[in-house]
Amino acid sequence: MNDHVIDQGFDAYTDSEHAVWRTLFERQSKLLPGRAAPEFVEGLKALGVAADGIPNFEALSDILEAATGWRIVAVAGLVPDDVFFRHLANRRFPVTNWIRKPEQLDYLQEPDVFHDCFGHVPMLFNPVFADYMAAYGRGGMKALNLGALKLLARLYWYTVEFGLIRTEDGLRIYGAGIVSSRGETTFSLEDESPNRLAFDLLRIMRTDYIIDHYQQTYFVIDSYDQLFDATRPDFTPYYAQLKPLPSLSPDQVLPTDERI
Ligand code: PHE
Ligand code: CO
């Protein structure tokens, strides 16, 4: 079966493409200490060591594999759901190989190598998060069979992509969609407008999300163990319970929600 893996084409990157990576990398690396979760900042060091430009996926994978057993594989862009889940279940993270143009530093509709690699790879150095991602892949294959993809995709969105975590020192970001975006890094933490609600698995799986601007609601976990523990049970009964319920809009706050 086609796994959609391609050659990264590392030697084909131009100097200006590496320069786009460096610009984004330096900008975010300055912004993130004190804003990103300590585990993200820790994982980011490995990325800085691996490359002074777009990382070579093979070399980076060797470092990552030694830490948590994960490797990254090159893809041309978004891959079909079943393919994506199978990669995750086998501890392979698909990373888009191309990089945005210099005039797209702040906004991009689809993931590029900066989002995928800078945004996702640092957390894959964290053992608990690394296991969560693999479990998510197995859960994804199951959700496909149960016709529950939409419900499970919301969990990915509100944790892996746009998750916040509460630490002793205050709120921190760990979601890849936030940490790879200069604007959303400060918006998600400092702006008054978005809702910041305590993590609630079933509540999240009912909640629609927006893909074309900053989120109106972020969900806050207390620890990666909390996330992992909440997602450990068999989701089959959850899906059955949630399917007949109407979905919640991205900006909705319920009386039962705990604001953070
Ligand atoms: N436990 C979930 C299930 O049975 C799978 C899962 C694990 C989903 C981790 C998300 C994250 O479907
Ligand atoms: Co992503």
**129 CA distance to ligand 1 middle (Å):** 13
> What are the structure tokens assigned to 207, written together?
């909640």
With contact defined as beta carbons under 8 Å apart, do 148 and 235 qualify? yes
**177 CA distance to ligand 2 middle (Å):** 6
- Concerning whether 120 is annotated as a catalytic residue, the answer is yes
**155 CA distance to ligand 1 middle (Å):** 10
The model's pLDDT over 179-233, given as tens digits with 9 standing for 90+, comes to: 999 999 999 999 999 999 999 999 999 999 999 899 999 999 999 999 999 999 9
Q: What are the respective helix, strand and coil percentages of the chain, to the nearest 5?
A: 50, 10, 35
With contact defined as beta carbons under 8 Å apart, do 139 and 235 qualify? yes
**144 CA distance to ligand 1 middle (Å):** 12
Task: Please say if the pLDDT value at position 1 is more than 80.
Answer: no
- Concerning whether 115 is annotated as a catalytic residue, the answer is yes
Q: Which ligand is nearest to the CA of 232?
A: 1
170-173 vs 164-167, strand pairing mode: antiparallel
The model's pLDDT over 85-138, given as tens digits with 9 standing for 90+, comes to: 999 999 999 999 999 999 999 888 899 999 999 999 999 999 999 999 999 999
224 lines ligand 1 (CB under 6 A): no
> What are the structure tokens assigned to 39, written together?
């585990």
Nearest residue (CA) to ligand 1, atom 4: 234
226 lines ligand 1 (CB under 6 A): no
Q: Which domains does the chain have, with CATH numbers?
A: 10-242 (1.10.800.10)
From 136, 155, 201, give the residue whose CB has the most ligand 1 atoms within 8 Å, as the site to mutate: 136
3-state secondary structure of 164: strand
Angstrom distance (rounded) from CA 79 to CA 238: 27
**Which residue type, as a one-letter code, is found at position 14?**
T
> What are the structure tokens assigned to 140, written together?
């994804």
Task: Please say if the pLDDT value at position 50 is more than 70.
Answer: no
Nearest to 97 by CA among 215, 203, 6: 6
| pLDDT mean over 11-32 | 96
Q: Which ligand is nearest to the CA of 128?
A: 1
| pLDDT mean over 160-177 | 97
> What's residue 48's pLDDT?
77
